[in-house]
Amino acid sequence: MDKYIFNKIDTFDIRDILECGQVFRYSKQSDNDYIVYSIDKKCLIEQNSKKVIMQSSNMDYFKNYFDLDTDYENIISNIKDKPLVNRSLGYCKGVRILKQDHFETVISFIISANNNIKRIRKIIESICTNLGENMGDYYAFPTREQMANADENFFLSIGAGYRAKYLVNTIKKINEGFDLSSIRNMSTSKAREKLIQLSGVGPKVADCILLFSYGKMDVFPVDTWVRKIYKELTGRDNGSIDSISKDLVEMYGNYSGYAQQYLFYSKRIREQKT
DNA sequence: TCCCAGGCAAGGC
DNA sequence: GCCTTGCATGGG
């Protein structure tokens, strides 16, 4: 296992990064010590006031995964004067937007619909332990072929609820040739349109996939928390996801995705939710 | 008992 | 096109 050490910076905090709601497969060893899993890989991350220590057999993968080449101070300087951003940074300046696997992110955020993070994590873990490869001390996220072995009853049995049939339909579509990698080269609006063709993927889930897996930053996923924030900002609590999202992207610009995550996570911290 | 959670699909208009 | 309703499940 390789080791990679870098100096601790304000814009990398492993707790913020993993607990901000963009990823569901991680385990907390202690306050500053986590393990994160992605597809069939894992990475240990330990941080203190001076250093961050990463350990993995797939270090190049995780350097990219954690977006280490991006200058977050520069991003912050571009949005810090926008509404609510500066206050939010006081809670979670260490957030970074991960570069997650397309398939895993699609499946994960279909499960996220009208659900809470604790349950989302539990359902995804059940998917891995039941369908994924045994890697020794953990289970990999199943491949699309492995997932094709699961039927609606399986997903119901692990608590997926009415999302069970969405999962079956989407897995089938992907196995029959729906190309997730081609989406990378599309414009944000085309990519969004394409993702929404998948069962269980609407505008909000599509925006999460675009942000957390495709690195599209001109999106602003609108969920129940963002609706509350939008009401604080504008006094309005009506409107479709598309209209609110469009408003917010106009307001926050090409760094909307980062702003969204700072606002979303700090809101949840302040309301003491898990 | 009702409300809520990183909403979506289907049907009505 | 927009608006309403039904939907599984577990926690507060």
Nucleotide nearest A238, from its CA to each C1': C3
Crossing angle of helices A241-252 and A203-212, in 10° steps, is 30
Residues 157-186 of A with CB under 7 A from strand C: 159, 161-162
Model pLDDT, residue A237: 84
Mean pLDDT for A193-212 is 98
What's the pLDDT at A272?
73
Decide: CB of A149 under 7 A of nucleic strand C. no
Residue range A177-186: mean pLDDT, rounded: 98
Mean pLDDT of A166-181: 98
d(CA A146, CA A171): 10
Task: Give chain A's mean pLDDT.
Answer: 97
Which residue has the closest alpha carbon to C10 C1'?
Answer: A119
* A274, pLDDT greater than 60: no
Strand C bases within 7 angstroms of protein beta carbons: 2-3, 7-11
The separation, in Å, between residue A246 CA and nucleotide B13 C1' comes to: 25
The pLDDT assigned to A71 comes to 98
Q: What percent of chain A has pLDDT over 90?
A: 97
User: pLDDT band at A80, cuts 50/70/90?
Assistant: very high
pLDDT in tens, A83-97: 999 999 999 999 999
pTM attached to this predicted model: 0.98
- DSSP alpha helix (H) spans, chain A: 14-19, 59-65, 72-79, 85-92, 102-111, 117-131, 144-147, 152-157, 163-175, 188-196, 203-212, 224-234, 241-252, 256-270
pLDDT digits (tens, 9 = 90+) for A111-154: 999 999 999 999 999 999 999 999 999 999 999 999 999 999 99
User: What's residue A238's pLDDT?
Assistant: 85
| b/e code A24-39 from CB counts within 10 Å (16+ = b) | bbbeeeeebbbbbbbb
Q: Does the CB of A202 fall within 7 Å of any strand C atom?
A: no
Average pLDDT over residues A202-214: 98
A202: the nucleotide nearest its CA (via C1') is: B8
Predicted confidence (pLDDT) at residue A175 exceeds the cutoff of 80: yes
What is the predicted pLDDT for the residue at A273?
62
State residue A137 phi and psi, 5-degree precision.
-100, 10
